[in-house]
Chain A
Amino acid sequence: MYLAAASVVQGVVQQIVSGLATGGIYASLALALVLIYRAMEALNFAQGEMAMFSTFIAWTLITQLHVNYYLAFAATIAIAIVGGVVIERVIIRPVEHAPPLTVVLVTLGLFFAVNGLAGKIWQYVIKAFPGPPGFPQSAVSVGGVSLGIQDLFLILVTIILLTILYAFFRFTKLGLAMRSAALYPETSRLLGVRTGWMLALGWGLAAGVGAVSGMLIAPIEFLDPNLMQPVLLYAFASAILGGIENPAGAVAGGFIVGVLLALIGTYVPGARDLRLAFGLVIIVAVLLLRPGGLFGRVHLARV
């Protein structure tokens, strides 16, 4: 009886850790969504597809061109940042001052365009994406709890990513200017800030963060052009749960959603296949009960 209870606790802890690992992926993509939402009050529906495309670039680098995994990881982030800047300057800029709904529709168009382009280049056949060298697909036992080494890698990468972003926005002049431009575009322009470029850079950073989430989920889920669609839904749920204008909230939301999904998938019979629906339930429930999210404030519409 005692042993059974202990193994239940171990099982739950195991699921929480694995939930935190996938939650980090949702947190990253949610953060990408928030970065753009804060600057334009519009959700970027193409965020996941941009991440998928970046992941294919990483796949090409690693498996076709035999670039070192970690080098390819870094190179992909750099390529994604440049790609994000270019997408903003070319596709989003013409609608920069249009109502948010217009922007959302453009990102929806971008969603299909990027998905189609990836299908054209890499085909709709699933591909195995390598895991990180040095982190085998085995588990270590800590106090009777078995932890996946790759889960620990995911958590480690997420922590590094969040720390870098925090330091960038908190301590660098460029990060400060990006925050200022997103929150106070008019005053920022009076101070000499080129807010259009700050927005482009925001798209670049969001694309870079998204690329990380894609490269982290790909070894778990297999790579194909539809890789990121469920992740995007969970990222939406995370961002809305945490407060769509609150970066720290979105990150917390990502971890909460990850853990909830892991627990429900394991302990609710038959629920594994209903995880997408559960993501939707979170979105609807938060919007109905607490529209500002757990850590956000209700946003009054400006008229």
Chain B
Amino acid sequence: MALLELTDVHAAYGSIKALHGISLKVNDGSIVALLGANGAGKTTTLRAVSGTVKKTSGNVLFDGQMINARSPEDVARMGIAHVPEGRGTLAQLTVWENLRMGAYIRRDGNGVKQDFERVVSYFPWIGQRREQVAVTLSGGEQQMLAIARALMLRPRVMLLDEPSLGLAPLIVRDIYRIIQAINREQQTTILLVEQNARTALNTADHAYVIEAGQIAVEGSGDELARNESIRKSYLGY
């Protein structure tokens, strides 16, 4: 069943149109990748879900509810955690404060404690560096912290914007391994945006290729990875 569904979504930054009718489905418990070139509209698609860009028409359905007109804070409160482009690190706050902010909407103190331990099990370094100011972390650590922060919300859907951006291949592999583990173990549905198509297709159950604000191709991760003409014309490898 589709937990998240976009139907013919148009969106614009002021007078500049960015999405020209995006329709896609994200099934409950799956990992879905949005691929495509720079400026194709991948980031804007995530922003259309979290309410951080103005949708001019179309529908966003989450768990059967229309969330078109919801503010970003309300979308977050419904259980959608968006790790934005550039990771949105709360740079001058400590690692611990970043995680506490991740759990801001939670009212269950004990559950938050458990989730903190869970986060440390995924990212053991966090346990020892709680008091470190986030701006002093490496790029890879900041990406992990952003995912950890999103986990603290105990979301049903995580939106990840280019988790591999600017990171060394080994770290990218680590991060994707953890994304898969979170998906499997927490049953967190994941919609991620990637330029690094090869890595994303290895992980994703389903993928969409966006071109100029529209869906150009879709298919299972394997299908797209095996199809040479799609790889060459859209994914550049």
Q: Which of A's residues lie within 8 Å of B, judged by CB? A: 173, 176-177, 179-180, 183-184, 186-195
Tell me how many residues of B have a C-beta within 8 Å of chain A: 24
Q: Are A195 and B93 in contact (CB under 8 A)?
A: no
B40-53 Cβ-contact flags toward A at 8 Å (1 or 0): 00000000001010
User: 1/0 contact trace for B63-89 toward A, CB 8 Å?
Assistant: 000000001110011000110100011
Of B82, B104, B105, B153, most A-chain CB atoms within 10 Å: B104
B37 to chain A minimum Cβ distance, whole angstroms, is 25
Decide if B77 touches A192 in the complex (CB within 8 Å). Answer: yes
Can you name the residue of chain B whose Cβ is closest to the Cβ of A177?
A: B104
CB <8 Å contact, B90 and A184: yes
Contact B88–A186 (Cβ < 8 Å): yes
Instruction: Check A191 against B101 for contact (C-beta < 8 Å).
Output: yes
For the complex formed, measure the closest distance between the CB of B84 and the CB atoms of chain A, giving whole angstroms. Answer: 6
Does B73 contact A189, Cβ atoms closer than 8 Å? Answer: yes
Min C-beta distance of B88 to chain A, whole Å = 4
Distance from A62 Cβ to chain B, minimum over Cβ atoms (Å):
40
Additional pairs, 10, CB under 8 Å, beyond known A173-B100, A188-B101, A193-B101: A176-B93, A176-B97, A180-B93, A183-B90, A184-B91, A186-B52, A186-B84, A189-B52, A189-B73, A191-B76
Chain A to chain B: the 6 pairs with minimum beta-carbon distance, closest first? A187-B88, A192-B105, A192-B76, A189-B72, A190-B82, A192-B77
Residue of B nearest to A179 (CB): B93
How many residue pairs link A and B with beta carbons under 8 A? The number is 60
Give the docked Cα–Cα distance between A48 and B108 (Å).
41
B102: contacting residue among A183, A184, A191, A194, CB under 8 A: A191
Summarize A's interface: helix, strand, loop or mixed.
helix
Contacts of B100 in A (CB 8 A): 173, 176
Asked if residues A190 and B72 are in contact (CB atoms below 8 Å), the reply is: yes
Are A190 and B52 interface neighbours, CB within 8 A?
yes
Judge whether A191 and B71 touch: CB under 8 Å: no
Q: Chain A nearest CB: distance from B71 CB in Å?
A: 7
Q: How far is the CB of B167 from chain A (nearest CB, A)?
A: 20
Q: Which of B22-60 contact A (CB under 8 A)?
A: 50, 52
Cβ–Cβ < 8 Å partners of B97 in chain A: 176, 180
> Is residue B149 contacting chain A, with contact meaning CB distance below 8 A?
yes
User: Nearest-CB distance from A84 to chain B (Å)?
Assistant: 22
Looking across the interface, which residue of chain B has its beta carbon closest to that of A174? B104
Contact partner of B88 (CB less than 8 A), chosen from A176, A184, A192, A193, is A184
Contact A191 B104 (CB under 8 A): yes
Hey, which bits of chain B sit against chain A, CB under 8 A?
50, 52, 71-73, 76-77, 81-82, 84, 88-93, 97, 100-102, 104-105, 149, 153
Residues of A within 8 A of B93 (CB): 176, 179-180, 183
CB distance from B168 to the nearest CB of A (A): 25
Shortest CB-to-CB span from A248 to chain B, Å, is 13
What are 22 contact pairs spanning A and B, CB under 8 A?
A173-B100, A176-B97, A176-B100, A177-B104, A180-B90, A180-B93, A180-B101, A184-B91, A187-B90, A189-B71, A189-B72, A189-B73, A190-B72, A190-B76, A190-B82, A190-B88, A191-B101, A191-B105, A191-B153, A192-B76, A192-B104, A192-B153
Give A18 to B72 CA distance when docked, in angstroms: 50
Give chain A residues whose Cβ lies under 8 Å from the Cβ of B72: 189-190
Nearest chain B CB to A150 CB, angstrom units: 38
Say yes or no: A173-B90 contact (C-beta < 8 A), given A186-B84, A189-B73.
no
The answer to whether B92 touches A183, judged by C-beta atoms less than 8 angstroms apart, is yes
Q: Quote the shortest CB–CB distance from A86 to chain B (angstroms).
A: 22
Partner of A189 from B76, B89, B90, B91 at Cβ < 8 Å: B76
CB neighbours of B149 from chain A (8 A): 191
Residues of A within 8 A of B89 (CB): 187
- Nearest neighbor of B102 in chain A, beta-carbon distance: A191
Chain B residue numbers with a CB within 8 Å of A187 are: 84, 88-90
User: Min CB distance, B189 to chain A, in Å?
Assistant: 17
Q: Which residues of B contact A177 (CB under 8 A)?
A: 101, 104
Residues in chain B near residue A191, CB distance under 8 A = 76, 101-102, 104-105, 149, 153
With both chains docked as a complex, state the minimum distance between the C-beta of B157 and any C-beta of chain A, in angstroms: 13
